[in-house]
A and B are shown apart, each in its own frame.
Chain A
Amino acid sequence: MDLSYSDEEKAFRAEVRAFLEEKLPKEMSDKIRKGEELGKEGQERWHAILNEQGWLAPNWPKKFGGAEWNAVQRHIFEEEAAAAYAPRIVPFGLSMLAPVLQKFGSQEQNDYWLPRILSGEDWWCQGYSEPGAGSDLASLKTEAVLNDEGTHYIVNGQKTWTTLGQHANMIFCLVRTDKTVKQQEGISFLLIDMDTPGVEVRPIILLDGTHEVNEVWFTDVKVPVENLVGEENKGWTYAKYLLTHERTNIAGVGFSQAGLTAVKRIARAEMSGGKPLMDNPHFAARVARVEIDLMAMSTTNLRIVSKAAAGAAPGVESSMLKVKGTIIRQEINDLARRAAGAYAMPFASEAIEGSNLALPDPLNAGPVAAQYFNNRKLSIFGGSNEIQRQIIAKTTMGGGA
């Protein structure tokens, strides 16, 4: 047992820190710190900066142009990036689609799509959930039927909660290709160009006024058969592979650490009874409790990360990290809005880019209440915390659960 990082890992951390100091634009980190949206251009700019450094695809093998970092390196990068208020890279192409292509796609698909992901030529979004298929994803109904010539699938249906679909030109979808078999055995994994006639994107405005997610409608959309990934009706297997293997940052340790720093900063600026709120033992106890939870959880994360670095596939632990990680992040969001007192009340649609200019923010707290509400999504998306608990129970108690 040795709780310290190795010399190589420390050197790597220093390298990451130096890179962020030099290359992360100040106006970009300011926006992230204030909880503002980066917008498409900002995202693409950060994407390009990382690509130039060769750090855009930390999880990809070198042969595909990735950095091929191990799990500990990835963890260090995520921690440093969050502490520096670096933007989060849009994960759909890089860490969700790409591993599936690399594992199950054809040579042609990898040769064609992977460089376009790195260059930013394609912006991918994910077409999984449907209005009737949320936690019960396998019940999805969007269907793809092969035309008589066998050249195209004709896709009809509706996807929802499509994150940043308004910026995307490509969507990877789970579609039903066989209705006669068990639900999970009739699903295929299809790549769809969003400029194809019949694709329509409709915005969904979230409760904090932001436009992050969309509905995507498909009406007789023609998709070339070349865009089927792997085998027909094996899509569920590929989707599950994606869910179990690409959850490196599922605990959100870096976000929580940055969030906790922000809470303390706000609570030092906010006065209560003539003293900084941070000096109030009651508030300080709330902060300390979360800090202790976070310390333990980040260590759990490292334990699992170390195992993964040694080659073990994370199992039920990733579900555990998702549940605990989101509870902690949401608690930190709660503390931030609590700390801001009456100044949590303004900021109506604050997360919208540039809209906070006229708003009072003497604490420099940013849109804490809007973030509190927005991050209620954390325990809902990517397999709700109830689904994660079910996975934990099933895995540990089998048929008894």
Chain B
Amino acid sequence: MNFDLTEERQMLQDSLRRFLRDKYDTATRNKILESDTGFSADIWNGLAELGVIGALFTEDQGGFGGAGFDIAVVFEELGRAGVVEPFLDTAVLGGGLIADLGSDDQKAHVEAIIGGTLQLAFAHGEPNSRYDLNRVSTTAKVDGDNVVLNGRKAVVVNAENADMLIVSARESGEAGDENGISLFLVPADTKGITLQGYALLAGGRAAEVTLDDVSVPASARLGEAGKAFKAIEARVAAANVAICAETLGAMETATRLTREYLMTRKQFGKPIGTFQALAHRMSDLLIEMEQARSAVIVAAGHLEAEYKSRESHVSAAKNLLGRAGRLVAEDSIQMHGGIAMTQEYELAHIAKRIIMSDHRFGDTDHHLERYIAIAAA
């Protein structure tokens, strides 16, 4: 057993942490939150140059990482700084699906993704799907050499900034069937695509995507017709490792800020951290931090494992991070008091990142149910 990072990953962590500490302070980030695009092109390009996106792809795919531990290292640092730029959507989900399923022509996009010049969004969830990955009602009908897409996709993160959307659609079967789901790589400006964009509470932007007779060549399909489900599950597993690591990083910041505040804020003539009621709660947070870190390590380490092991460990992590994250976010705010309720204080954004991470690809309850179901299967 060895829990140390490899030399390469340690270097990646150090340089990423330094970059974000220097360039992504609270004031800068709060300006990005208020911007029309919801992200900073400078930060995006700077991080791409640093190799952050490349670290999320394997050597075969053109990158220099791509394993669960690479994803965890990158996203923990992004989470620590409360980064809102769409690395999850463009790289882990979009780029990952292209790399996993794409034809040679389609895989040619990976270079631009790693270089930071191509952005993607994963248009999968629907108004009635909640967290069920198999509940796809959007239809794909073959029409000669083309495929015609119709349907609505819900809360598609980064849709407005994306050059291309990866759209899931059903070619056969019923909503809820795993078989029959295909993925299509669709340029965002294709006729029939309408976006209704909006800001997200925890930063970044998303859109409701309406597909109205969107006609794409059959060559836009990623992988085999109707057989995309397993690849979607695998990529969502990677995304959930990323989200858990990101949440862990944000929780690190929340507990650091809280510990510092407890040691400096004085009431009744002494630092409030000397009051046992608060001291013990802080200790509980630190205990949960260790639990969360271990859950992330285990999930990252099983991302390349066989299906059942992978899914079980990922769901375990998402369940635990959902619980521990809520405790850390809520208790950090409570122990700070009013100051943590203000927009401009760092913890406000960090707490939102932690809590809202529970709303992507399954909350703590969903993953508890899934954990049980996988064990029973």
Query: Which residues of A pack against B, CB within 8 Å?
Result: 129, 132, 134-136, 139, 160-161, 204-209, 213, 270-274, 277, 282-283, 286, 330, 334, 337-338, 340-350, 358-360, 362, 369-370, 372-373, 376-377, 379-381, 384-386, 389-390
For residue B268, CB closer than 8 A to chain A, the reply is: yes
Q: Bound state CA distance, A139 and B338, in angstroms?
A: 17
CB-defined contacts of B278 to chain A, threshold 8 Å: 386
| Chain B, interface residues (CB within 8 Å), range | 35 or more
Q: Which of A338, A369, A379 contacts B363 (CB 8 A)?
A: A338
CB-defined contacts of B129 to chain A, threshold 8 Å: 271
Q: List 6 A-B contacts (CB under 8 A).
A: A129-B338, A135-B267, A341-B131, A344-B356, A345-B202, A384-B334
Establish whether residues B267 and A342, one from each chain, have CB atoms under 8 Å apart when the complex forms. no
Q: Which of A139, A348, A360, A381 contacts B199 (CB 8 A)?
A: A348
CB-defined contacts of A273 to chain B, threshold 8 Å: 130, 132, 135, 176
Shortest beta-carbon distance, A384 to chain B, in Å? 6
Establish whether residues A346 and B200, one from each chain, have CB atoms under 8 Å apart when the complex forms. yes
CB-defined contacts of B351 to chain A, threshold 8 Å: 207, 373
Q: Which of B129, B201, B208 has the most CB of A within 10 A?
A: B201
Shortest beta-carbon distance, B346 to chain A, in Å? 11
Establish whether residues B277 and A376, one from each chain, have CB atoms under 8 Å apart when the complex forms. no
CB-defined contacts of B368 to chain A, threshold 8 Å: 282
Q: Which of B196, B201, B348 contacts A345 (CB 8 A)?
A: B201
Q: Which of A160, A209, A350 contacts B343 (CB 8 A)?
A: A209
Given the known inter-chain contacts A342-B359, A346-B155, please indicate yes or no for A270 contacting B130, CB distance below 8 A: yes
Q: Bound state CA distance, A294 and B349, in angstroms?
A: 31
Q: Which of B128, B154, B198 contacts A358 (CB 8 A)?
A: B198
Q: Bound state CA distance, A139 and B268, in angstroms?
A: 8
Given the known inter-chain contacts A342-B359, A372-B355, A386-B277, please indicate yes or no for A161 contacting B267, CB distance below 8 A: no
Shortest beta-carbon distance, B74 to chain A, in Å? 22
Closest residue on chain B to residue A343 by CB atoms = B155
Q: Bound state CA distance, A183 and B269, in angstroms?
A: 12
Establish whether residues B201 and A347, one from each chain, have CB atoms under 8 Å apart when the complex forms. yes
Question: B166-209 toward A: CB 8 Å interface, digit per residue (1/0)?
Answer: 00000000011000000000000000000010111110001010
Q: Bound state CA distance, A362 and B360, in angstroms?
A: 17
CB-defined contacts of B196 to chain A, threshold 8 Å: 358, 360
Query: Which residues of B pack against A, CB within 8 Å?
Result: 125, 127-132, 135, 154-155, 175-176, 196, 198-202, 206, 208, 266-268, 272, 275, 277-278, 326, 330, 333-334, 337-338, 340-344, 348-349, 351-352, 355-356, 358-360, 363, 365, 368-369
CB-defined contacts of B266 to chain A, threshold 8 Å: 132
CB-defined contacts of A360 to chain B, threshold 8 Å: 154-155, 196, 198, 208
Establish whether residues B201 and A369, one from each chain, have CB atoms under 8 Å apart when the complex forms. yes
Given the known inter-chain contacts A207-B351, A369-B355, please indicate yes or no for A348 contacting B277, CB distance below 8 A: no
CB-defined contacts of B359 to chain A, threshold 8 Å: 337, 340-342, 344-345, 369
Q: Which of A274, A277, A342, A390 contacts B154 (CB 8 A)?
A: A342
Q: Which of A206, A213, A338, A379 has the most CB of B within 10 A?
A: A338
Given the known inter-chain contacts A206-B342, A344-B356, please indicate yes or no for A274 contacting B175, CB distance below 8 A: yes
Q: Which of B135, B275, B338, B355 contacts A160 (CB 8 A)?
A: B338
Establish whether residues A342 and B338, one from each chain, have CB atoms under 8 Å apart when the complex forms. no
CB-defined contacts of A283 to chain B, threshold 8 Å: 365
Shortest beta-carbon distance, A236 to chain B, in Å? 15
Establish whether residues A389 and B277, one from each chain, have CB atoms under 8 Å apart when the complex forms. yes
CB-defined contacts of A274 to chain B, threshold 8 Å: 132, 135, 175-176
CB-defined contacts of A380 to chain B, threshold 8 Å: 333-334, 337-338, 341
Establish whether residues A376 and B355, one from each chain, have CB atoms under 8 Å apart when the complex forms. no
Q: Bound state CA distance, A207 and B196, in angstroms?
A: 24
Shortest beta-carbon distance, B344 to chain A, in Å? 7
CB-defined contacts of B128 to chain A, threshold 8 Å: 271
Shortest beta-carbon distance, B275 to chain A, in Å? 8
Establish whether residues B330 and A376, one from each chain, have CB atoms under 8 Å apart when the complex forms. yes
Shortest beta-carbon distance, A269 to chain B, in Å? 10
Q: Which of A134, A344, A348 contacts B337 (CB 8 A)?
A: A134
Shortest beta-carbon distance, A274 to chain B, in Å? 6
Shortest beta-carbon distance, A9 to chain B, in Å? 37
